[in-house]
Structure 1
């Protein structure tokens, strides 16, 4: 894309952890961003976006839109060349009904946004935020890969409404997007599939899966030890850059795994202890799998989950994002440290007092 050519770009779920960085990058490039939020009356949730816009050459236009309301994105989308759909429920625990609370909002929300795209002639590209959870369901799936790593050719086929409903919601939403894209010829689709996202947030009110992990490290829950589990990790700024490139690079196509590497939960604990010392009860050891089989259900780990996800290191091939999107990944160890420091600064995590 010619850097002097500015575009109108819709970003859904604008107040989100990753979306805020995406909007910042787009505004700094001089683009006009149509940003959707749930409630325009809750200015505290998006004041950081207005402050960012004031310092850039770009233009921010805010719109109210509910993910599950049909036609809610029609007005916000008018005149846009590109749609970046990032709004999605993030509920891994503490849900009552997996279908109603997790799966339907993800799938119906994607369908609603893309129905608006089908009605908006100006849109030529759609970028959907998916997840590496759309490429695999359980860690044991790594044993079925040829090169001991997941890549863009892999799909999650083992999650369901009752087993791993959050990953199931991600793969079903992405499949819905591809189905709708293939049913027409005007707009193309690029999916961004990030690993567990770490790194600094642009607002103290951000929620993400990584926050929950770090809170457990800080509150003593993992003092006795962590499960033998591994996560793909990626810095939020790299994920944002991937979205921008997916939106603006004419050659971007298909799916992109976005991952800066893999860390075990124990490795994450060691990284944090080496930086923050012994002020917090960071885990010092890994508990054996059989212990979680015996006591896991009491801690919210179903036996099936323990069997299929503990003890299997997982790895991701992010070469496509490097060669086609030009992503140069940050040091994920530094991302973990910066994220924890921000949680301290924002008061989300407090110094541990045993």
Structure 2
């Protein structure tokens, strides 16, 4: 007699930083995986996905967030659908409404329509971001604890235009549109809102989060500006390791009672705390690099930086579902992130 049939999952945007790590974990957990990319013939972008086929049954499908129906084959027969793919115009866009906000909402609903057509998907897991939770005016110097009931204030965001403001708007509107669609069509939906996600992935190219997390060591001014933007608009630097995020994705897919939004944040820190830790843990980057010494001096004298978080994102709801974070300190998070940065050439040595 044959064994029990494998559970099948679809992961959208499979060659991306988060998605490829999720594909790897699902295969290791015994899933059959179907994933989507815009161009399956692009060997440079998909080589790491091809290597993951050695871990288990992995099919790669062509699909585009802008093309309704293009996800039909990928989700057909799946038990779970993980919506990870998103437009990549995070920082710069000439027309954020058309290039970031509308495509984000439209793309997620396209995948969810395919889930309705397929009729087999038991749970949709949507990966959003903590930026949908905490970009809002807050009085006082600190002590704010935000949970899943908190939403970024879109009137404030569109008026003040903090860094990556269109990304923030897109995530809020995407979540609310997905919730409405799920309710109207009887889809079981959970949403994950991760903090700054760092850690090693099968992906060989990364944008935004990992370069930002390593910017104090790399000296990348643009990436450091991203990190500063996160702290100034969030009121902290909320961090989660990629491995923990993927574990949370799988847990919430498999937990029947799970519902609604879940913040996924291992801990809340500041740029100064990160800089001091890195200078102590990785002095080789500091001792041989005068520019790095100057950068640390500038950081320590930057009046715009926080000594302690003004805001703390709470993952209590996720923990109540039985989840336990494995990466709870800067040391644990940065150990494999630094090695990953070396492998990708973000760090020089």
TM-score > 0.5, shorter chain as reference: yes
* Deviation of the 1:47 alpha carbon: 2.3
Moved more, 4-13 or 241-250: 4-13
Compute the RMSD of aligned alpha carbons. 2.8
Equivalent position of 2:202 in the other structure: 202
* Deviation of the 1:46 alpha carbon: 2.4
Secondary structure of 2:6 counterpart: coil
2:320 to 318, 323, 332: 323
Secondary structure of 2:24 counterpart: helix
The whole-number CA distance in structure 1 between the counterparts of 2:140 and 2:176 is 23
Q: Name segments (4+ residues, structure 1) moved above 4 Å.
A: 142-145, 159-162, 225-229, 309-312
Contact 1:84 1:127 in 2 (8 A): yes
The whole-number CA distance in structure 2 between the counterparts of 1:200 and 1:160 is 31
TM-score (norm 1): 0.83
Equivalent position of 2:303 in the other structure: 288
Q: After the TM superposition, which residues 150-189 of structure 1 pair with which residues of structure 2 at under 5 Å, given as runs?
A: 150-158=146-154, 160-161=157-158, 163=161, 164-185=165-186, 187-189=187-189
| 5+ residue gaps, structure 1 | 293-308
The alpha-carbon distance between structure 1 residues 89 and 49, as it changes in their structure 2 partners (threshold 3 A), is same
2:280 to 265, 270, 274: 274
* Deviation of the 1:29 alpha carbon: 1.6
Contact 1:128 1:191 in 2 (8 A): yes
* Deviation of the 1:125 alpha carbon: 1.1
The alpha-carbon distance between structure 1 residues 347 and 98, as it changes in their structure 2 partners (threshold 3 A), is same
Structure 1, residues 93-136: CA drift from partner, whole Å, max 9, x if none?
A: 22221112211121111111112122121122111001111112
The whole-number CA distance in structure 2 between the counterparts of 1:97 and 1:21 is 31
Structure 1, residues 215-243: CA drift from partner, whole Å, max 9, x if none?
A: 365226469x9687421001000000011
| 5+ residue gaps, structure 2 | none
The alpha-carbon distance between structure 1 residues 263 and 70, as it changes in their structure 2 partners (threshold 3 A), is same
Q: After the TM superposition, which residues 1-354 of structure 1 pair with which residues of structure 2 at under 5 Å, given as runs?
A: 6-54=6-54, 56=55, 58-138=56-136, 140-141=137-138, 148-158=144-154, 160-161=157-158, 163=161, 164-185=165-186, 187-215=187-215, 217-219=217-219, 221=221, 229=232, 230-277=236-283, 278=286, 279-280=288-289, 281=292, 283-284=296-297, 285-289=300-304, 313-333=310-330, 334-350=332-348
Secondary structure of 1:233 counterpart: strand
Moved more, 271-280 or 111-120: 271-280
Structure 1, residues 184-224: CA drift from partner, whole Å, max 9, x if none?
A: 22x2001011000011122221223331352365226469x
Secondary structure of 2:170 counterpart: helix
The whole-number CA distance in structure 2 between the counterparts of 1:220 and 1:128 is 31
Paired residues, number: 325
Higher helix fraction (1 or 2): 2
Secondary structure of 1:274 counterpart: helix
TM-score (norm 2): 0.84
The alpha-carbon distance between structure 1 residues 133 and 87, as it changes in their structure 2 partners (threshold 3 A), is same
The alpha-carbon distance between structure 1 residues 342 and 312, as it changes in their structure 2 partners (threshold 3 A), is closer
The whole-number CA distance in structure 2 between the counterparts of 1:17 and 1:103 is 21
Structure 1, residues 151-202: CA drift from partner, whole Å, max 9, x if none?
A: 01111123545622111111111111101011122x2001011000011122
* Deviation of the 1:276 alpha carbon: 1.7
The whole-number CA distance in structure 2 between the counterparts of 1:95 and 1:73 is 26
